[in-house]
Every structure is written in structure tokens, then in C-alpha cells.
Amino acid sequence: MKVSVECKVMNIVEVGSHTQITGEIVNIQADEDVIGEKGKVDLKLLNPIVYDDVLYDYLEVGEKIADAFNVGVKFRK
């Protein structure tokens, strides 16, 4: 186990052909080797993969492209 996230189910909704499940995170456990300098899980150390269910591919998570919450500011009027 590199990272384990335990959730409490809060809501279940049928959405077309899928079921949407919303949860509340109640516990996170992580191996020491994926904890960064700030004491939190570091994605670069974790090196996670994601699954594309349209193209049926597994992809690596890439490099940082922008700071959160700042990218869209230039589009405000």
C-alpha cells in the first residue's frame, strides 16, 4: 500500500448508466516514502497512474502546469 483513503458514503445517485457515489474522507494512510517535505502525500513521490475509460489507456500523472486557483483569473471580467 502506498496510499489508502477511507471514505464514508454520503450520497448515492443513479446518473444515466452510472452510479455517482459521494463520500467524506475519514482516514488517510500513506507509506513514509511518499510523504514530502510538507508532511503530506507528494504526487511526484507517489507517481500515480490514471485510467482513461474512453481510450482504455493507463497514463502517468504529469508535471505541474500552473498554480491552483490562479489560472482562471485572467478570464474574469
Q: Comparing C-alpha atoms, which of 12, 57, 3 is closest to residue 31? A: 3
Query: Region 3-24: what's the mean pLDDT?
Result: 96
Return the CATH number at 23. Answer: 2.30.110.10
Give the model's pLDDT for residue 72: 73
Q: What is the pTM of this model?
A: 0.66
Residue range(s) defining the domain that contains residue 71:
3-75
- 25 DSSP β-pair partners: 7
pLDDT digits (tens, 9 = 90+) for 15-60: 999 999 999 999 999 999 999 999 999 999 999 999 999 999 999 9
Label residue 56 left, alpha or beta by phi (over 0 means left) and psi (-120 to 50 means alpha). left
Label residue 29 left, alpha or beta by phi (over 0 means left) and psi (-120 to 50 means alpha). beta
Give the model's pLDDT for residue 66: 81
Give the model's pLDDT for residue 71: 77
Q: How many domains does the chain have?
A: 1
